[in-house]
Amino acid sequence: MKRRQRGGMLALLTAPLVLFVVILFLWPVARFLALAVDNSDFSNNLPRTIAALADWKAESGLPDEPVFAALVEDLADARRAGKEGVLAQLVNQRVVGSRFLVIKTAKDAADGKLDMRPVRDEVLSKQAGWKNVDLWQVIARQQSARTDYYLLASLDLKRGADNTIEAVSDDRAIFVDALLRTIWISIVVTVICAVLAVPLAQAIVSAPQVWSKLMFALILFPLWTSLLVRTVIWIIVLQKNGPVNSTLLALGIVGEPLDLIYTRFSLYLAMVQVLLPMMVLSVVAVMRRVPTTYMRAALSLGAPWLTAWRRVQLPLILPGILSGGAIVFVFALGYYITPTLVGGPTDQMISSYIAFYTNNTLNWGMGAALSLQLLMILVLFAFLFWTASALFRRKAHVA
C-alpha cells in the first residue's frame, strides 16, 4: 500500500514537464495545424455578402443589388477593422489578380465613395473587376468557417465550378511533385546510408579494441558538430574553387571546374554525411550483441564467407538496419536547412515549401496543410517501419 502511494507521488514529478510540453509545444503545433482548415478570416469578414449570395446561382449571371450593398458594407467594415489586406489575400489565392480590386473597393467603401444608388452600377462602373462571375462564385462558397481548400491544394486539387473536386492546371500543380520528391530523396538517402553503414559497422565490431574505439569516436564526432556547420562546410568544399574542384583540375581529370554544389548530388552527399552516423550507431548496437560464433559455425560447415554473411549475419543484424533506417528516414523527411543551402531550386523538400508559404507569402493555411501532410507521411512511414520490424521479430521467433 505504502509503495503504491509512493509510486503515485513519484509520478507527479513528471507533471511539470508534461504540462510544459503540452502548453508550449503540443498546443502551439495543434493550433497551427488547425489553420489548415480554418476559413474564419473569410467567413467572418464577408458575413452579409455570403448570406446574401445564399440563393444565387452562377448561371444567372452577376448578383443583384442587395448583394452589392452587402459587399460594400462588409468591405467598409473590414477596412475599418484593418482586415482588408488579409481578405484581399484570401480572395487573391483563389482568383489570381484580385488583391488590388478588393483593397481598392474596401477603401472606397470605407471612404463613402460608393454611396450612390444603385450600388451595383456604382461598384461595377468604378471597379470593373467585380464583373467576374468566378469571383462571386468563390465568395458564395465561403459560408462555413472551415474549408478544405488548403488540404485539396496541398494535393494539387481544387473545387471546380460545380463544386466537385478536380485537378488544378498543370502550371500550378507543384505540391504532389514536392511530396514525391521529398519521399524519394529520403528513400535514396536511407538506402545509401544502410549500404555504407553495414560494412563500416562490421569493421568497427571486428577490429581490435583500440581501433574499434577510435573508429567509434570518429563516427560519433560529427554528431557533436552542428548540422548547420556541417552543411556549410559542404558548400565550402564543393564550390567552384574549393578543394574538390582544384584537386580534380590539378590531376587533369576535368578541364574546368564542375558544378558540384546546388545539385541533387551535393544534397545527397551532405545528407548522407550528416545522417550516416545514426545508421552506423544503430547497426553497431545490434551487431555487438550477435555472437561471433554463429559466423564461425557457418564457415566451419563449409559455407563461403559471403553466403555465410548473407544467410547468418545479415538476418541477425536486420533489426538494427531497420531501426537505423527508420531514424534516418524520419529525420530526412523533415530536412530543411540542408536542401535550402546545398540543393538547387528543383531539390527543395516539403519543409522548404512550409517555410516559404509562412515566411514569404504569409499563407498560413497552405503552410499548415503542407505541415499536416508532412506529419501524416512521417506517422505512416514510422508505422510501416514498426510493422516491418514487428513482423520480422515474429518470424525470427518462429524460426
Partner 1 sequence: MSADRFRKWLMYAYAATLLAFIILPLLIVVPMSLTSSNSLAFPTPGWSLRWYAELWVDQRWPNALWNSVVIGLSTTVLASLLGIPAAIGLAWSDFAGKRIIYAIIAAPLVTPVVIVGVAAFSFFATLGLVGNKLSIILVHTAMAVPVMLTTVVASLSTFDRTLLRAAASLGAGTMRTFFKVVLPLIAPGVITGAIIAFIISFDEVVVASFLSTGAERTLPRMIFSGVRESISPAIAAVAVLLIAFSAVLLGVIAILQSRSQTLRAKVSA
CB of 289 to partner 1, least distance (A): 18
Within 10 angstroms of residue 153's Cβ, the number of other Cβ atoms is 22
Q: How far is CA 97 from the centre of its chain?
A: 28
Q: What's the min distance (Å) between Cβ of 53 and partner 1?
A: 31
Give the footprint of partner 1 on residues 322-341 (CB under 8 A).
Answer: 330, 333-334, 336-337, 341
Residue 275 binds to partner 1 (criterion: CB under 8 A): no
226 near partner 1 (CB under 8 A): yes
The enclosing H or E element of 324 equals helix 314-333
186 burial level (CB within 10 Å; 0-12, 13-18, 19+): buried
Member of 47, 85, 129, 242 binding partner 1 (CB under 8 A): 242
Contact call for residue 262 and partner 1 (CB under 8 A): no
Asked if 301 is part of the footprint of partner 1 (rule: CB under 8 A), the reply reads no
Q: State which residue, 7 or 82, has the beta carbon closest to partner 1.
A: 7
d(CA 69, CA 200): 74
Q: Identify the residue among 167, 237, 303, 316 touching partner 1 (CB under 8 A).
A: 237
Whether residue 233 contacts residue 273, with contact meaning beta carbons closer than 8 Å, is answered with no
Please report whether residue 267 would count as binding partner 1 according to CB under 8 A: no
Question: In Å, what is the CA distance from 217 to each residue of 173, 211, 222, 224?
Answer: 46, 10, 9, 11
Asked whether position 236 contacts partner 1 by CB under 8 A, the answer is yes
Residue where the block lists cell 458564395: 140
Residue 329 to residue 378: CA distance in whole angstroms: 9
C-alpha span between 399 and 343 (Å, rounded): 46
Binding mask 195-224 for partner 1 (x = CB under 8 A): -x--xx-xxx-xx-------x-xxxxxx-x
Please report whether residue 361 would count as binding partner 1 according to CB under 8 A: no
Q: To 10 degrees, the CA torsion angle through 293, 294, 299, 304?
A: -140
How far apart (Å, rounded) are the C-alpha atoms in residues 383 and 389?
Answer: 10
State yes or no: residue 265 binds partner 1 (CB under 8 A): no
Residues of this chain, 302-321, that bind partner 1 according to CB under 8 A: 305
Q: Is the peptide bond before 339 cis (omega within 30 degrees of 0)?
A: no
Contact pick of 35, 67, 109, 179 for partner 1 (by CB under 8 A): 35
Smallest gap from residue 229 Cβ to partner 1 (A): 5
Closest approach of Cβ 14 to partner 1, in Å? 4
How many amino acids of this chain bind partner 1 (CB under 8 A)?
79
> What residue type is assigned to position 50 of the chain?
I
Does the footprint of partner 1 cover residue 40 (CB under 8 A)?
no
Q: Least separation, in Å, of the C-beta of 200 and partner 1?
A: 5
Instruction: Lay out the site mask for partner 1 across 156-175 (x = CB under 8 A, - = otherwise).
Output: --------------------
C-beta of 56 vs 309, nearer to partner 1: 309
Q: What's the min distance (Å) between Cβ of 115 and partner 1?
A: 37
Alpha carbon of residue 238 to chain centroid: 27
The string of DSSP letters for 247-270 reads HHHHTTS-SS----SSSHHHHHHH
For partner 1, the binding residue among 124, 235, 290, 312 (CB under 8 A) is: 235
Cβ at position 365, least distance to partner 1 in Å: 12
Residues 6+ apart with CB under 8 A from 134: 95
